Amino acid sequence: MFNVVSRRTLLRGAAGAILPLPRLEASTPKGDERRPLRFVALFKPNGVHSPYWNIEDGREKEFRLSAGMAPLEKLKSHLLFVDNLGTAGFTSHMASAQRFLSGRFSPSGRGGASLDQLIADKVSPGTRIRSLELTTEGLFAQLPECSYVSYTAQGRPIPRERDPNLLFDRLFRDPLVAPSARRDAVSLLDRVGESTKRLLRTVGKEDQQTLDQYLTVVRQAEVKIENLSRTAASPHDPGQELAGRAATTFNERTDLMIDLIALALWTDSTRCVTYMLGNDNSRLVFDFLGVKQNHHLLSHYSRTSTPADIGNLHKICDWHTEKFARLVTRLKSYTEGPRSLLDDTVVLYGAGMGASDSHTAHRIPTVLAGGTRVLRTGRYVRPAKNTEPTHLHRTLLDFFGAAPPPQHHIAACEPMSGLDGSAYQPYREPAFQSRLEVSGPNVIVQGRLRYDPDRPSEFLIDVTGEQRPVRIAVATKSNRELNFFASTPIRLSGTGERKGGDLVLTALKSVVPLEGQTAASGP
């Protein structure tokens, strides 16, 4: 028979050391199966290269991940892939950032609380930290709205933390102790050593194993903090992270932030976290990936890109998705009795726009993870109709038992069906046949529109019986409209000519999607 340890126990030591504890069997009264549900949102900036990301012709339980989802293959059974999120039309970077957790763009002071803050209102009682708002980069001063996804009930953006040192302090160090004393002190675990030894003597074998894993992870984080401090960029040169040697620490800092997020959740220090992997309109340069151009430039691939540039954009998108995979893997590895921390955490990974080049507001990349009490993972859910993000947000609020204020715009939204395994109307691509009609310069071509991998500003349509696909090389304005319909069946009419054995459509007269969608005018 072991002593019961309070769930709120903090091991304290010299120089302000604080060590919150993960859930232990000794801290759980017999028969008490209650476990808090947590929420994490990871924001991916600047949308995606749609053909690289979108799942095509998938079914709910029979689908193949796209090339852009390759980092998630081993975690597939723990994930729920959501498609057809968004609506016809286009978006701006400011609207994209706000859409992620607020569902729409509203001038500062008018939009009300974002999804994460509505959830925090419900789940934060009993935690030390109401919510964490984190980021990888500083404020985008030209358009500050691009830098925020979390908003207060008054519609004001919530400041974000980008320094893992300060996050570590917030989790494990007493703010009332002078920073110089904390800095000069020995290891955190050494400072709480006596308290730890006493605790280990009072708990059972299973809890001892949990504590051993936890203390190892904390020490690893502390070592990374120490190493990072030695190579940190000068505070007087905020742009230093974008080049050379300091760029290497950017990747390390991001990994460390993700590890600290997992620790914050495991110790129940907080139950609500948002982490921006970049500002929308992000100009970060990923030197450590061998990429020399900034992210935003590469994201507009039809105007400036070469095949090599498309490859570099894919590297950046893969990096974002790998960070999501890292978090899911961490949460999956931490146990709370018979369950993993991931089982009791809903993780939302996504963006606020679809195709980055034309800023489409359609097929916004969205993946959910964990939360096995409320989600049915291992599936691909693509509703028959476009679904605004606010309906997803309403569903997530319902999962947490959080009711939006009556005046909040989300209060009027119906929940999105299917996420919990409930019935929904799935998308089915209409049957179609490819065909080609040529009369002088006039051309009508029908088939699946796809990108030309060798000419990023052009498209191709394969036609049965034709040896070579029809090329579509049109002006930028028309190209932006075609981006909306990439990878879908479509009928195009216009004028063209033969070039080197290829039939090339050079001007459009009409664009008729075969699946009933229409694109609005661009921004």
Read off the DSSP letter of residue 10: E
- Ordered by start, the domain boundaries in the chain are 37-158+265-412, 435-513
* This prediction's pTM: 0.85
Q: In Å, how far are 233, 264, 294 from 241, measured between CA atoms?
A: 7, 26, 13
Q: Is 475 exposed, middle or buried (0-12, 13-18, 19+ CB in 10 A)?
A: exposed
From CA 443, how far away is CA 433, in angstroms rounded? 16
Q: Does position 486 have pLDDT exceeding 80, yes or no? A: no
What b/e readout covers 91-112, taking b as 16+ CB neighbours within 10 angstroms? bbbbbbbbbbbbbebbeeeebb
Range of 30-34, 162-166, 364-368 with top mean pLDDT: 364-368
User: What pLDDT, on a 0 to 100 scale, did the predictor assign at position 174?
Assistant: 58
Q: Does position 98 have pLDDT exceeding 50, yes or no? A: yes
Q: Does position 7 have pLDDT exceeding 60, yes or no? A: no
Contact 341, 36 (CB under 8 A): no
**Cα 456 from chain centre:** 25
User: What pLDDT, on a 0 to 100 scale, did the predictor assign at position 223?
Assistant: 83
User: What pLDDT, on a 0 to 100 scale, did the predictor assign at position 8?
Assistant: 53
User: What pLDDT, on a 0 to 100 scale, did the predictor assign at position 16?
Assistant: 58
| Per-residue confidence band for 478, with pLDDT thresholds at 50, 70 and 90 | low
Q: Does position 289 have pLDDT exceeding 70, yes or no? A: yes
Range of 132-141, 219-228, 232-241 with top mean pLDDT: 132-141
Of 95-99, 304-308, 489-493, which gets the smallest average pLDDT? 304-308
Q: Does position 314 have pLDDT exceeding 50, yes or no? A: yes
User: What pLDDT, on a 0 to 100 scale, did the predictor assign at position 488?
Assistant: 84
User: What pLDDT, on a 0 to 100 scale, did the predictor assign at position 57?
Assistant: 76
Q: Give helix 205-231 / helix 193-202 axis angle, nearest 10°.
A: 160
- CATH number for the region 37-158+265-412 comes to 3.40.720
Higher pLDDT, 367 or 307: 367
User: What pLDDT, on a 0 to 100 scale, did the predictor assign at position 182?
Assistant: 47
User: What pLDDT, on a 0 to 100 scale, did the predictor assign at position 241?
Assistant: 36
Q: In Å, how far are 18, 61, 307, 313 from 316, measured between CA atoms?
A: 37, 29, 15, 5
Residues 297-309 pLDDT 10s:
999 887 766 778 8
Higher pLDDT, 429 or 292: 292
Mean pLDDT of 335-346: 92
- CATH number for the region 435-513 comes to 2.40.50.140
Higher pLDDT, 272 or 249: 272
Q: Does position 312 have pLDDT exceeding 80, yes or no? A: yes
| Per-residue confidence band for 185, with pLDDT thresholds at 50, 70 and 90 | very low
User: What pLDDT, on a 0 to 100 scale, did the predictor assign at position 88?
Assistant: 74
Residue 374 neighbours by CB under 8 Å, 6+ apart: 37, 346, 399, 419, 420
From CA 491, how far away is CA 511, in angstroms rounded? 6
- Hunting for tokens 């369950």 — which residue is that? 339
Which pair of structure tokens corresponds to residue 280?
Answer: 């929308």
Q: Does position 235 have pLDDT exceeding 50, yes or no? A: no
Of 76-85, 104-113, 145-154, 351-360, which gets the smallest average pLDDT? 104-113
Of 320-334, 463-477, 478-492, which gets the smallest average pLDDT? 478-492
Residue 321 neighbours by CB under 8 Å, 6+ apart: 44, 68, 69, 71, 72, 349
Residue 42 neighbours by CB under 8 Å, 6+ apart: 275, 277, 323, 324, 327, 347, 348, 349, 350
User: What pLDDT, on a 0 to 100 scale, did the predictor assign at position 364?
Assistant: 95
User: What pLDDT, on a 0 to 100 scale, did the predictor assign at position 78?
Assistant: 98
Of 52-66, 83-97, 176-190, 457-471, which gets the smallest average pLDDT? 176-190
Residues 403-441 pLDDT 10s:
999 999 999 999 999 999 999 999 988 889 999 999 999
Contact 277, 320 (CB under 8 A): yes
User: What pLDDT, on a 0 to 100 scale, did the predictor assign at position 521?
Assistant: 41
Mean pLDDT of the chain: 85
Contact 512, 481 (CB under 8 A): no
User: What pLDDT, on a 0 to 100 scale, did the predictor assign at position 246?
Assistant: 39
